[in-house]
Amino acid sequence: MLLTKEPTSNTPIGKLIREVFIPWGLEAAFIDMTDLDQVHKGVQANTRLILVETPSNPLLKITDIAAVVEIARQAGAWVLCDSTVATPILQQPLNLGADLALHATTKYLGGHSDVLGGVLVARQESLLWERVRFLQRNGGAVPSPFECWLATRGIDTLPYRMRTQAENALKIAHFLNGHPQVEKVYYPGLPEHPGHQLAARQMTAFGGLLSFQVKGDQSHSMQVAARLRLITRATSFGGTHSLIEHRASIEEPGTTTPENLLRLSIGLEHPDDLITDLDQALT
């Protein structure tokens, strides 16, 4: 049995769990990982893996990795942390006790919106890890030399990009938070974010990704995104160029993502230029 965060059911990982692994006999429970009581209650005798995604996409919820590891240890389960939004620069799940860390190289590691890939890292060798390697090799999830080259080229500048993108995201989160046309901002760097204290403990900065709700309905928030000139409308995040996405319309019907929510990936442009662009689009 697998425990995983609730909105995961809308992501590619969630679709694989629901449409492939559950029909094969895997049991899975989708729960709110930020609520440790729920994690406790969700663990069953046959739970083998707890999948944590922190910060989460797109609501930037923060889960206490060390606390989940503690619960998993008592149950004899492994913890896999999807740390894509944080990157290894801002958060190190293996040092907090997680058994596995997952990163999409598609996002900040590649960093230039030109590679698709991912890495899975284990804290130590084990029979299960050998099995994962076997499945990767024989299942064909093997990147080409060019994709590896793109990823390693990106990693060279990762610490410097993360530092700047996190600094800029914090400025933009404060700007949006004070804007009369904005209903709510989701960014762990804001003191009122429910995961702020925890993020300050388990991360070295709050990252370059944030979401916000525009006052009004879905079509109004989509118009705001369409009026932006410097920030491009596109899915994905983590590149040098700022991107914005109307999240609910790319998720499945019945998504819990608010209809007026825009997700913003802050790139390396000057923060004042981004603020000017957002201000003209909102007003």
Ligand X SMILES: *Cc1c(COP(=O)(O)O)cnc(C)c1O
Q: Tell me how far, at minimum, the Cβ of 53 lies from ligand X, in Å.
A: 5
Judged by CB under 6 A, does residue 91 bind ligand X? no
Choose which of 47, 54, 57, 257 interacts with ligand X (CB under 6 A): 57
Q: Which is nearer to ligand X, 97 or 118 (CB)?
A: 118
Among 47, 54, 84, 87, binds ligand X (CB under 6 A): 84
When binding is defined by CB under 6 A, the residue of 10, 34, 54, 106 that contacts ligand X is 106
Q: Which of 64, 82, 99, 245 binds ligand X (CB under 6 A)?
A: 82
Q: Which residues sit opposite 50 in a β-bridge?
A: 3, 79
The encoded tokens of residue 178 equal 């004070």
- Contacting residue, 69, 85, 166, 203, with ligand X by CB under 6 A: 85
**Using rule CB under 6 A, residue 6 touches ligand X:** no
Contacting ligand X within 110-129 (CB under 6 A): 116, 118
For the chain, what is the radius of gyration of the CA atoms?
A: 19
Region of 22-30, 104-112, 194-202, 243-251 interacting with ligand X (CB under 6 A): 104-112
- For ligand X, which residue of 104, 243, 261, 282 counts as binding (CB under 6 A)? 104
16 is an interface residue for ligand X by CB under 6 A: no
Work out the angle at residue 132's Cα, subtended by the Cα atoms of residues 127 and 134, and round it to the nearest 5 degrees: 90
Binding segment for ligand X (CB under 6 A), chosen from 91-99, 101-109, 171-179, 189-197, is 101-109
Residues near ligand X (CB under 6 A): 12, 53, 57, 82, 84-85, 104, 106-107, 116, 118
